[in-house]
Amino acid sequence: MVIAVDFDGTIVEHEYPKIGREIPFAFDVLKRLQKEEFHQLILWTVREGELLEEALEYCRQRGLEFYAVNSDHPGTPYPDELISRKLKVDIFIDDRNIGGLPDWGVIYRMVKYKQSWPEAMNSAETEYIRKKKPNLLIRLGEMLEASKR
């Protein structure tokens, strides 16, 4: 898949024009999607010029390189009126999504398993419930029943 990823508010906290703090697991998930799933990542940001170069260097220092930046293919500039700047991608990851930005663990599950938002949330909740130990009173009752046998 081709995935467009915003920078400010998505990979880092929104402090534009400064670079905000790294959002937990953003780099881990993006690198994992590239390495394990072979997805192509496009940086899709309002940043340009020096601010864009700073963002790209910030990502490089954390081991993340993008297939393209603000375009469908590497090095393809968009002349003002000749070509639409709308990207041809499968997924956009952006903090301005309806409902906001899910945490990066949910994003990973949604991309890897091609899940919708409700499916990813339900699978995470089900996994949490399955791993959760019963409360103390239930465990004591189970121990009492087991000792009677």
Rounded-to-integer distance, Cα 8 and Cα 61, Å: 17
pLDDT grade, residue 139 (50/70/90)? low
Q: What domains can you pick out in the chain, each with its CATH number?
A: 2-114 (3.40.50.1000), 117-149 (no CATH)
Which residue, among 52, 39, 33, 45, has the nearest Cα to 107 in the 3D structure?
33
Annotate 103-117 with b (16+ C-beta within 10 A) or e (fewer): ebebbbbbbeeebee
pLDDT tens digits, one per residue of 79-101: 555 555 678 888 899 998 877 78
Query: In angstroms, what CA-CA distances link 104 with 35, 51, 92, 98?
Result: 16, 24, 13, 16
Q: What is the pLDDT of residue 119?
A: 82
pLDDT grade, residue 134 (50/70/90)? low
pTM, to two decimals:
0.74
Q: How many residues does the chain have?
A: 149
